[in-house]
Structure 1
């Protein structure tokens, strides 16, 4: 390709909107351009890189026997209602109506659609296993799209779906796809870790994420250097060390704490530490008030809370001042587990049941209570783990320290079981002629995001350092002075020679100064 004919609008300066290297470099190199927030056009240079990723993905999907097809991006409401996800998916789903007032969505994912596709076609166990995939544009109306191709409202994704006769066969398919993903990301030269993930709105009981290591990643992975344990911070199990479990129980004491509303202020006022406090957080879950008590030195994991309550994360909302006053008879900052309004749901992290003589809110404005103890002074629904994991926590497998690292989710895999086949009545006949639901798996690769992740790992202050396999071109011939006929002829000759040998080459024959 000759640059004099190529559409590649480069930029000298870094656009103010671009915060991270991949976004900056892709804009400056003329690879992408923004239409509106979270929606981009892929220009010729950027689209070549995307096609290179797609090529690797296709090769490895074909290698494991997955068959490519292409489905509509538009899906009807009825399918999503059958699975229960029309309401559960939340505001990220782009919804629309046709002229006849029928409701549809722009597909954020395609579990329902694939299940519906095969339900009337695959009738016998003899037609299984089945593995199908597509590479297609997906749509999610992100609340805060940012970082260029990292978090978009429109993006390119490979999604695959497996259909098997039982749980064991599903697990075999899952491992086969896991292995294929390892090959894909290794071929793309990404440094990555595979971690346990939360299944979220996808459903199922088992999920893993493929995280490209990067300081700008929005995801956090927790892992142990001593064993193979690794999970997202949303999924990671917390082993909390209680230090005063053997103290004698002391008498309750109400303490005047005027205008002391935060954990830090309370620690200073009472000359204590956060691990001796019971922090109360008040939420509404589908409009039902819920009070959660965790140690004062830790953060609540809202994903774990939503999963325990059986609600979608978007249905979990911090309670307003009126609700807090109604259930605790006090202003915000003084809620505690003792004396809540009758019938209020109280969830207690298991660690609170082991800490002795904790300080809690007094359910009375400007007051706290010292020496509160679970069982003696209050009870509630005990939950095994509601906390975010922290650096230095103990590994739940081997007991060694946990380390935290940021990463970019470039792939995910799910064991869905019969969630979708059961809800959409997708069955096959087994060897005994009995109708059984398909066991499914779902597997995604963020194609456009993977290009950005590669750039995050492969760049310096001069620009992108492409791994050969994803590089838009493999050689460039620059004619420094096109008015010099000898230079131009030599450049054309080298370019033609490389092209004839199958080398993907750019000829820079522009009448521009170097560096433009």
Structure 2
């Protein structure tokens, strides 16, 4: 491709409002432009990178025997209603009606739709099946940000497996795990496989592939022993606490103006770890108390997973006042018997604790959790923090900020049973196939590569996904310079290289800066000075190393450098 014919609207300054590194560089380097919040136009360079990412994924899907489909992204409500997710999924789903008044959705995922295709499976001999597609997804993301990392319209590689039994699902799951490891390795994305929540997808085993980046909004807890989990799933080993005998019964004391855990600690000397924090949630229209240790934070996803509830939200102040008689800051579970009470495991067996009295400005000391609180259910609900002991080896845990780049689930038979998919089993009985679901966000993967591969000059693409493998910088318009550059261009294209020749009438500094900004892995500089002794300059973008090589061997030299990365 000739730069003079290529649309690359580079920017000399960082664009305002671009927070993530990938957002800033993809805008500056002319890869993307924003249409509106969460919706981006991919320009020619981005389209080339996206295509190469898809090629890598497609190769690895084919390697595990998966077949490519393309299913509709506009979907009838009836299918989602049958699975129960039409009501369960909230504002994240884009919904519309056609001219006949039929309810439709813009697909945010395709479990239901692939399952309808599977209705034509007949026998266990038809299984296993592993199906995938590259399709646009729509999610009404409330906090679209960070460029391509958090958007409302994106391409997903989603695949689905259908097996006759659990052993088959295990095999499909493991094959996808291995394929994802290879995919992210080939794309140059550092990926940590972690235990995760299945969220709205449902199912059992769930593994996320997380890439470390400051632009991420997911926290990963990990240890050198190999333990790794999303904070929504992570746990740690807390040492047992030795409490005193406490009081024979809870004792009220006045706490005027106390609104927070910190207020009680600073004003009355009750440390946060000796407080019982009372949170109030509405769970499927039922007011529910959630009890935590004062120094621990609730992970809402753990609460949702524990209760398997459809709708979970924090209660409003008026709902709390009407039911408990006090406002947040003075709430507690002592004496509450008519509401469900869920408590974090860290509170189990604790004595001599302090909690709200359900009277504004009053707390209770000497609370024995087992004696004084009618806990109906115990669960791991707290957020793990750095430094806590690993649940496997007791060494201090670390916490990384990451972005999710892939997710694999064992779905079970939820969708096949609900949508009536059965096959004839080996014993002559009909059985519902068991499913898995596996996703990779293509544009997010593109952004994750940039988050990892960049420097102060711009993007540094790995060769496997670069829009061009080599750029030829033509310095000057002397006949011999142009002729040499054109010869190199033709020779490299003959080697099936993606080559960009910078034939613009620009200063050398502009050409070098632009080639570095857009991230081409290798640069050949053709100048009259070099040609005087029969050489050209060869520069490795990743290392910055430049060497003079003979013009006559330049095509072979570049070809060898590119092939060495494959």
TM-score bracket, normalised by the shorter chain, equals over 0.9
Q: What residue number does 2:325 align with?
A: 329
Cα deviation digits, residues 229-267 of structure 1 (max 9, x gap): 21100011243334234x213243211111111111110
Q: Give the superposition deviation at 1:14.
A: 1.2
Residue 273 (structure 1) aligned to one of 271, 274, 293 = 271
Cα deviation digits, residues 118-147 of structure 1 (max 9, x gap): 21x210111111111101111111001100
Q: What residue number does 1:4 align with?
A: 4
Q: How far apart are the structure 1 equivalents of 2:346 and 2:221?
A: 20
1:249 aligns with 2:243: no
Question: Is 1:410–1:449's contact at 8 Å kept on the other side of the alignment?
Answer: yes
Cα deviation digits, residues 432-486 of structure 1 (max 9, x gap): 221100111111111110010010001011111111111110111112334x444
Q: Give the superposition deviation at 1:212.
A: 1.2
The residue correspondences of 1:454-465 to structure 2 (distance < 5 A) are 454-465=449-460
Q: What residue number does 2:286 align with?
A: 288
After TM superposition, the structure 1 stretch with the greater mean CA deviation from structure 2, 193-202 or 396-405, is: 396-405
Q: What residue number does 2:114 align with?
A: 114
In the alignment, structure 1 segments of 5+ residues that lack a partner are none
Q: Give the superposition deviation at 1:99.
A: 0.5
Question: Is 2:270–2:354's contact at 8 Å kept on the other side of the alignment?
Answer: no
After TM superposition, the structure 1 stretch with the greater mean CA deviation from structure 2, 377-386 or 451-460, is: 377-386
Q: How far apart are the structure 2 equivalents of 1:325 and 1:242?
A: 35
Question: Is 1:428–1:436's contact at 8 Å kept on the other side of the alignment?
Answer: yes
Q: How far apart are the structure 1 equivalents of 2:279 and 2:187?
A: 44
Question: Is 2:194–2:208's contact at 8 Å kept on the other side of the alignment?
Answer: yes
Residue 384 (structure 2) aligned to one of 386, 389, 394 = 389
For normalisation by structure 2, the TM-score amounts to: 0.88
Q: What residue number does 2:198 align with?
A: 199
Q: What residue number does 2:541 align with?
A: none
Q: How far apart are the structure 2 equivalents of 1:508 and 1:497?
A: 16
For normalisation by structure 1, the TM-score amounts to: 0.96
1:448 aligns with 2:448: no
Residue aligned with 1:375, SS: helix
Q: What residue number does 1:407 align with?
A: 402
Q: How far apart are the structure 1 equivalents of 2:369 and 2:131?
A: 52
Question: Is 1:350–1:382's contact at 8 Å kept on the other side of the alignment?
Answer: no
Question: Is 1:328–1:339's contact at 8 Å kept on the other side of the alignment?
Answer: no
Residue aligned with 2:467, SS: coil
In the alignment, structure 2 segments of 5+ residues that lack a partner are 515-566
Q: What residue number does 1:492 align with?
A: 486
Q: How far apart are the structure 1 equivalents of 2:285 and 2:204?
A: 27
Q: How far apart are the structure 1 equivalents of 2:324 and 2:240?
A: 27
Q: What residue number does 1:511 align with?
A: 505
Q: Give the superposition deviation at 1:376.
A: 2.2
C-alpha RMSD over aligned residues = 1.4
Q: How far apart are the structure 2 equivalents of 1:258 and 1:272?
A: 15
Q: What residue number does 1:157 align with?
A: 156
Question: Is 2:137–2:154's contact at 8 Å kept on the other side of the alignment?
Answer: yes
Cα deviation digits, residues 181-236 of structure 1 (max 9, x gap): 1111111122111001101110111110111122222111111212x221100011
Cα deviation digits, residues 67-118 of structure 1 (max 9, x gap): 1111111111111111111111211111111100111111111010001012
Residue aligned with 2:369, SS: coil
Question: Is 2:197–2:305's contact at 8 Å kept on the other side of the alignment?
Answer: no
Q: Give the superposition deviation at 1:150.
A: 0.3
Residue 398 (structure 1) aligned to one of 393, 398, 417 = 393
Q: Give the superposition deviation at 1:394.
A: 2.3
Question: Is 1:242–1:355's contact at 8 Å kept on the other side of the alignment?
Answer: no
Question: Is 2:146–2:215's contact at 8 Å kept on the other side of the alignment?
Answer: no
Q: How far apart are the structure 1 equivalents of 2:217 and 2:345?
A: 29
Q: Which has the larger radius of gyration?
A: 2
Q: How far apart are the structure 1 equivalents of 2:155 and 2:425?
A: 37
Q: How far apart are the structure 2 equivalents of 1:321 and 1:69?
A: 49
Q: How far apart are the structure 1 equivalents of 2:338 and 2:147?
A: 47
Cα deviation digits, residues 1-35 of structure 1 (max 9, x gap): 00101111111111112101101110111111111
Q: How far apart are the structure 2 equivalents of 1:351 and 1:148?
A: 39
Q: How many residues align?
A: 509
Question: Is 2:356–2:364's contact at 8 Å kept on the other side of the alignment?
Answer: yes
